[in-house]
Structure 1
Amino acid sequence: MAKQIEISGVGCCLVDYLYNNISFTSEIFSKYVSKRSGDGGLTPGQLVFAEEFEKFSGQDFESTIREITKGKPADKVNIGGPGIVALIQAAQMLEETGCRVRFYGGRGEDETGKYLQSSLAKTPVNIDNYKRVNGATPSTVVLSDPHFQEGSGERVFINSIEAAGNYLPKYLDARFFSSDVVVFGGTALVPAIQDNLTDLLAQSKDEGCITVVNTVYDFRNQKANPDRKWPMGKSDDSYSNIDLLITNHEEALRLSEETALNDALIFFRNLGTGAVMVTNGAKNITLFAAKNSIFRETELTEMPVSEAISEELNKSHSGDTTGCGDNFAGGAIASLGLQLQNGSTKINLKEAASWGIVSGGFSCFYMGGTFHQKEPGEKQKRIFPYYKAYLKQIDEG
């Protein structure tokens, strides 16, 4: 009988209102582009809080969105957020394996919250610990330009934290800390969890958990101190208790206060982080695993994106990149769970990255971060051929 592995995650869960084909080079959009870091304006690839964007624009949020979108309704309403989207991807890839995925988070008592509750109930993620807390349910307006950056695509995120601001560390119970793997996903959008990461990570390691942190753009700290590095909890002590850090290129630079990625990776390594994966849109993924970590030692390595997926996207000349990074994280977490279940004493980081790469790439084939399956195992079956093709690609490369 396969060993049961429990993965518990806490972090950002919200409703995404997705608007596709919004030109980031249009005159209307250009009116609302950020002039300086942290000023509340829009920047492709970054997140801003709705209240800060409202101050920047000088008019109410709804009116500005109507202007930018030319009054059209959202193209799609979907489950969003780096915490839950990564866990849904992991759970979909782990169906019928004996690995269980559990989510901890908060929503409001409103129609948006009821939509999330009912939608999440249709996924393989256990949501027994998805709580009602004070405040409206968090949401994000996602503006997507699939033609930006020569067809690579990019998004802008305008977030309303709402009830996530009232989700507290005390809601993480003994079962969370008894899990094989704990994931802190996009906690910059769940402030009380983010600010207490140092203690939460230390407690997780004391209880014997493997720890994963996947990040999101930290607008709160970027606005407060645009020229200083973003904190990871109360102190840099957090990094020594992170087994796997998954971040993107810009976030890696802001977390380390470095200007070059290699220097950022040295920063994380020197602070004792076990392994790091850095995504960079359609460019190569960069990773390493330290010698004394749960992973096989892996020197600084670059891995390419999936050629098979890129070729299909090029044929259609478009792709919605919403949720690529979150699904990448989910694919890597799923591989981590499977390798633990198979009794691996040292996790193969490149294998985990391979699943992350095809998972992130596959998300460009549908709109929004969450793929809604028609039947259990559907997404797993559809991604597997890309995984096999990717193994052949890197073997031949």
Structure 2
Amino acid sequence: MSRRFDVSVVGLYILDVLGRPVTAIPDGGNVDFIEEIRLTVAGTAGGTVVDLAKLGLNCQAVGAVGSDEKADFVINRMQQFGIDCTHMARLDGVETSATILNVRPNGERPALHCRGASDHFDVSDDMLGDVLDCRFFHLGGTGLLAKLDGAPTARLLKAAQEAGCVTTWDLVGAGPDTWQFVEPLLPHIDYFIPSIEEAEILSGITGVEENIQFFQSRGVKCPVLTLGADGSMVAMGDERIHVGVYDISVVDTTGCGDAFTAGFIAGLADGRSLEEAAHLGTASASLVASGLGSDAGIVDRAQTEAAMAAWRA
């Protein structure tokens, strides 16, 4: 069946304001000087859709921005990458979701976040036909999507599967209350792509294999756990595929998980094996880690493939 989009990316869209390197916040009204400040489209949906577009996939963004100058930047920037923004709602009276990130010299990034418009959007019935006109349906941002979290997300993922879409999922900021939003989603997720830390918070248990079995037993087809410096683990049935990290110099880890997701989806869209999809995810995340912001490093598919080949040589 022909689909209009390779990927529909639904969920959390954020404007990130990043500065580096930040070693401390100046006292009082004093000023310190840093090397770099950037604005980027970010979030578990926004960062992913930008990276997917850079990797050559035809994408639509589905989410919300506010009625402010931040919204103009987010929409305009995505359109520059060829992303369809027809279903990016502009909501009156609320701010665009945004984060200020003070990036430390070691790549850590303490954040200040304004929840904003992403808490106020939903996917209405009249949008479903367009939103599900895709090969892959990615939902990112569970936990910071107040109106969509829980049963509405479960219905949306179920509808995506019934429409023949491959469903992929990621969350943000797992906490003690997040499990109630996540549990109803699990039977409708083909590729479940959290970090091991997020998975452990959700499950309440520790260990990679233990979490794989926990989520498989609750309906997830393929858990894909990112393991930080230990790479990633992909689990399909009894098969376990571990892909290690590449030897890179880390500048900023903002958006690395979103980049991994984008590369992994791009690999699946190519028809690659799970191992090769995970390598493309790792290459995408490595490029993003080499610069400031969630869209740093990745230029296009050819450059990403070349970098991956060099790292694996």
2:220 aligns with 273
1:88 aligns with 50
2:274 aligns with 349
CA contact (8 A) 2:194 2:226 kept: yes
1:103 aligns with one of 43, 58, 61: 61
Write the distance in 2 (CA, Å) between the matches of 1:127 and 1:18: 24
What amino acid sits opposite 1:337 in the alignment? Answer: A
Judging changes above 3 Å, is the alpha-carbon distance between structure 1 residues 261 and 372 closer, same or farther for their aligned structure 2 residues? closer
Write the distance in 1 (CA, Å) between the matches of 2:196 and 2:20: 24
2:173 aligns with 217
2:83 aligns with 125
Judging changes above 3 Å, is the alpha-carbon distance between structure 1 residues 74 and 164 closer, same or farther for their aligned structure 2 residues? farther
Judging changes above 3 Å, is the alpha-carbon distance between structure 1 residues 257 and 273 closer, same or farther for their aligned structure 2 residues? same
Query: Which SS does the other structure have where 1:114 is aligned?
Result: helix
2:291 aligns with 366
Query: Structure 2: which 5+ runs fail to align?
Result: none
1:303 aligns with 243
1:381 aligns with 302
What amino acid sits opposite 1:214 in the alignment? Answer: D
Shift of 1:391: 4.6
Write the distance in 2 (CA, Å) between the matches of 1:281 and 1:247: 11
Deviates more, 1:354-363 or 1:259-268: 259-268
Judging changes above 3 Å, is the alpha-carbon distance between structure 1 residues 13 and 179 closer, same or farther for their aligned structure 2 residues? same
Shift of 1:242: 0.5
CA contact (8 A) 1:7 1:102 kept: yes
Shift of 1:163: 1.3
What amino acid sits opposite 2:280 in the alignment? Answer: W
Write the distance in 1 (CA, Å) between the matches of 2:255 and 2:307: 18
1:261 aligns with 208
Cα deviation digits, residues 291-350 of structure 1 (max 9, x gap): xxxxxxx6223211113xx2xx2xxxx5111111111111111112221xxxxxxx6211
CA contact (8 A) 1:22 1:145 kept: yes
Query: Which SS does the other structure have where 2:157 is aligned?
Result: helix
Write the distance in 2 (CA, Å) between the matches of 1:267 and 1:85: 28
Q: CA RMSD in A?
A: 2.7
Write the distance in 2 (CA, Å) between the matches of 1:3 and 1:168: 23
Bigger Cα Rg: 1
1:39 aligns with none
What amino acid sits opposite 1:368 in the alignment? Answer: G
Judging changes above 3 Å, is the alpha-carbon distance between structure 1 residues 80 and 275 closer, same or farther for their aligned structure 2 residues? same
Query: Which SS does the other structure have where 1:331 is aligned?
Result: helix
CA contact (8 A) 2:139 2:169 kept: yes
Residue 79 in 1 paired to residue 34 in 2? Answer: no
Residue 231 in 1 paired to residue 189 in 2? Answer: no
Write the distance in 2 (CA, Å) between the matches of 1:122 and 1:372: 17
Shift of 1:366: 1.9
2:131 aligns with 176
1:204 aligns with 160
Judging changes above 3 Å, is the alpha-carbon distance between structure 1 residues 74 and 379 closer, same or farther for their aligned structure 2 residues? same
Write the distance in 2 (CA, Å) between the matches of 1:176 and 1:123: 19
User: Quick one: percent identity of the two aligned structures?
Assistant: 22
Write the distance in 2 (CA, Å) between the matches of 1:197 and 1:390: 38
Judging changes above 3 Å, is the alpha-carbon distance between structure 1 residues 237 and 189 closer, same or farther for their aligned structure 2 residues? closer
What amino acid sits opposite 1:210 in the alignment? Answer: V
Shift of 1:355: 0.5
Shift of 1:80: 1.3
Write the distance in 1 (CA, Å) between the matches of 2:120 and 2:36: 27
Write the distance in 2 (CA, Å) between the matches of 1:200 and 1:288: 24
How many residue pairs get aligned? The number is 309
Write the distance in 2 (CA, Å) between the matches of 1:92 and 1:119: 12
Query: Which SS does the other structure have where 1:193 is aligned?
Result: coil
Residue 16 in 1 paired to residue 16 in 2? Answer: yes
Larger % of helix: which? Answer: 1
Write the distance in 1 (CA, Å) between the matches of 2:10 and 2:267: 19
1:145 aligns with one of 95, 104, 107: 104
CA contact (8 A) 1:146 1:321 kept: no
Shift of 1:249: 1.6
Query: Structure 1: which 5+ runs fail to align?
Result: 30-62, 148-152, 291-297, 340-346, 393-397
Query: Which SS does the other structure have where 2:156 is aligned?
Result: helix
CA contact (8 A) 2:61 2:84 kept: yes
Judging changes above 3 Å, is the alpha-carbon distance between structure 1 residues 20 and 280 closer, same or farther for their aligned structure 2 residues? farther
CA contact (8 A) 2:287 2:297 kept: no
1:294 aligns with none
CA contact (8 A) 1:85 1:369 kept: yes
1:289 aligns with 236
Write the distance in 2 (CA, Å) between the matches of 1:137 and 1:356: 28
What amino acid sits opposite 1:242 in the alignment? Answer: I
2:259 aligns with one of 327, 340, 347: 327
Query: Which SS does the other structure have where 2:278 is aligned?
Result: helix
